[in-house]
Amino acid sequence: SQTIHQWPATLVQPVGSPLSLECTVEGTSNPNLYWYRQAAGRGLQLLFYSVGIGQISSEVPQNLSASRPQDRQFILSSKKLLLSDSGFYLCAWSRGSSGNTIYFGEGSWLTVV
Amino acid sequence: EDQVTQSPEALRLQEGESSSLNCSYTVSGLRGLFWYRQDPGKGPEFLFTLYSAGEEKEKERLKATLTKKESFLHITAPKPEDSATYLCAVQVYSGAGSYQLTFGKGTKLSVIP
């Protein structure tokens, strides 16, 4: 069966510090990978998605970037965090063919202070 | 612009009191409608996918239905462990072989013993 791991689960970072959230998927190959953000009172917002190694699409302009160095690894980064980057970040995956069900990780709570 | 509206925002039920959650949508070219359950501080857990009007799916006390403009999540004789936020999402074809998933803000269900 497939599993998705995301870490760290929670972190508190000062404004201007860097960020790295990591996500790995096991039990499948060539998955589509996603980063979402969930803010209080708002729906899930797609930040980035990737259909293969080194292929990243960004949905919204922002202070964040994503990378996919390996087939089942997805990383969300920032060089300098802003207060507005606080939120609940979710990594997700789906089977390689577009249009399939998206499965989510446990999420990472980021508080920028 | 694709829109997904869930109602009510919050719902309190007595244990055993059946009810329904609504997800209405305005999209062009619906490919699928997804229901997820999200517990506090966790990632969304996939429940159902519905693809065409008239389709129904069931899982334990939950049944999801789909029409051309909305979906209902019926909860029969709920138990306290059904308390969670239920998210609805619609998937549409966004061109170049890719699909876009748009989420509603969710309905927070509380089942009181």
How do residues B69-106 score in pLDDT, each as one tens digit?
999 999 999 999 999 999 999 988 776 666 778 999 99
Give B37's pLDDT tier (boundaries 50, 70, 90). very high
The pLDDT of residue A58: 86
Higher pLDDT, A33 or B94: A33
d(CA B38, CA B40): 7
Q: Do B103 and A43 count as a contact with CB atoms less than 8 A apart?
A: yes
Paired tokens of B65: 């239905």
Which residue in B27, B102, B103, B108 has the most chain A C-beta atoms within 10 A of its own C-beta, making it the best mutation to test that interface? B103
Tell me which residue of A77, A34, A80 sits closest to A55, measured CA to CA. A34
- CB of B51 within 8 Å of a chain A CB? The answer is no
d(CA B71, CA B55): 10
Average pLDDT, chain A: 92
Q: Do A44 and B98 count as a contact with CB atoms less than 8 A apart?
A: no
Average pLDDT, chain B: 93
Q: How far is B76 from chain A (nearest CA, A)?
A: 25
Chain center to CA of A97: 19
Please give the residue of chain A at the shortest CA–CA distance from B91.
A99
- HSE (CB half, 13 Å, CA atoms) of A48? 22
The pLDDT of residue A98: 60
Using a CB-CB cut-off of 8 Å, the residues of chain A touching B98 are: 51, 98
The pLDDT of residue B1: 72
- CB of B27 within 8 Å of a chain A CB? The answer is no
d(CA B100, CA B94): 6
Residue B34 has pLDDT above 90, yes or no: yes
d(CA A64, CA B69): 35
Residue A76 has pLDDT above 80, yes or no: yes
Q: Chain A residues contacting B, CB < 8 Å?
A: 6, 41-44, 46, 51, 90, 92, 98-99, 101-107, 109
How far CA A58 is from CA of A33, A45, A65, A98, B41, in Å, comes to 12, 11, 8, 17, 25
The pLDDT of residue B101: 86
- The owner of tokens 């799916």 is B57
What mean pLDDT comes out for the span B60-64?
A: 97
The pLDDT of residue B96: 65
Residue A13 has pLDDT above 90, yes or no: yes
